[in-house]
């Protein structure tokens, strides 16, 4: 079953391009199936579940610094998800326990950083940020892994 993630605005990349007002992204399993306005997407996928988010939806982030400190590796990875990150640089996921926690959560460990983008058939890694700049939701490999209450 597909899920439509809709927001006030959708950005295919954080560093440029025209945002889609009242935009939406369709996620099927762990992949992006479509991007467009909510009206277009809803018409094409009438049976999809809809999640509406306040703010701006875009690609999940790459964490480019040390992983936040926490009592366990799982909690350290969860701290990344709360920031909207779905990937971390390998130099900062520097223990077997931290890498295992990242793998269990589908957080990607990267040798180098590439700019994150939303692309059709690409992995469904998304982040939504509210007007205050705080992460509202994180979708990692198609799964909602963080939601701000």
On whether both 56 and 92 belong to a single domain, the answer is no
**Residues 50-90 pLDDT 10s:** 999 999 999 999 999 999 999 999 999 999 999 999 999 99
Angle in degrees, CA 26, 118, 6, rounded to 5: 40
Picking from 9, 2, 81, the residue whose alpha carbon sits closest to that of residue 34 is 2
Count of domains observed in the chain: 2
On whether both 12 and 31 belong to a single domain, the answer is yes
Six-digit token string for 32: 């992006």
- For residue 9, the SS3 value is strand
Residues in the chain: 149
On whether both 49 and 122 belong to a single domain, the answer is yes
Alpha helices in 45-134 (DSSP H): 73-82, 96-104
pLDDT at position 36 is: 97
The Cα-based distances of 144 to 48, 51, 65, 78 in angstroms read 15, 10, 23, 12
pLDDT at position 11 is: 96
Kindly report the CATH number assigned to the domain that includes residue 132. Answer: 2.30.40.10
Six-digit token string for 92: 């900062």
On whether both 91 and 131 belong to a single domain, the answer is no
**Residues 99-145 pLDDT 10s:** 999 999 999 999 987 888 999 999 999 999 999 999 999 999 999 99
pLDDT at position 1 is: 85
Phi, psi at 86, each rounded to 5°: -120, 5
Q: Domain containing 93: what range?
A: 62-110
pLDDT at position 16 is: 79
Spatial separation of the C-alpha atoms in residues 121 and 34, rounded to whole Å:
8
**Residues 10-58 pLDDT 10s:** 999 988 788 999 999 999 999 999 999 999 999 999 999 999 999 999 9
């Amino acid at each position: 079953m597909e899920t439509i993630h809709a927001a006030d605005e959708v950005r295919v990349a954080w560093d440029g391009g025209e945002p889609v007002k009242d935009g939406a992204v369709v996620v099927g399993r762990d992949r992006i199936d479509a991007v467009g306005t909510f009206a277009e997407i809803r018409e094409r996928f009438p049976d999809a579940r809809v999640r509406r988010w306040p703010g701006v939806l875009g690609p999940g982030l790459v964490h480019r610094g040390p992983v936040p400190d926490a009592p366990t590796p799982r909690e350290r990875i969860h701290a990344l998800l709360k920031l909207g990150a779905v990937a971390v640089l390998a130099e900062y996921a520097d223990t077997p326990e931290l890498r295992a926690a990242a793998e269990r959560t589908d957080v990607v460990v990267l040798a180098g950083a590439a700019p994150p983008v939303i692309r059709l058939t690409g992995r469904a890694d998304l982040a939504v940020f509210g007007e205050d700049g705080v992460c509202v939701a994180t979708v990692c490999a198609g799964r909602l892994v963080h939601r701000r209450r």
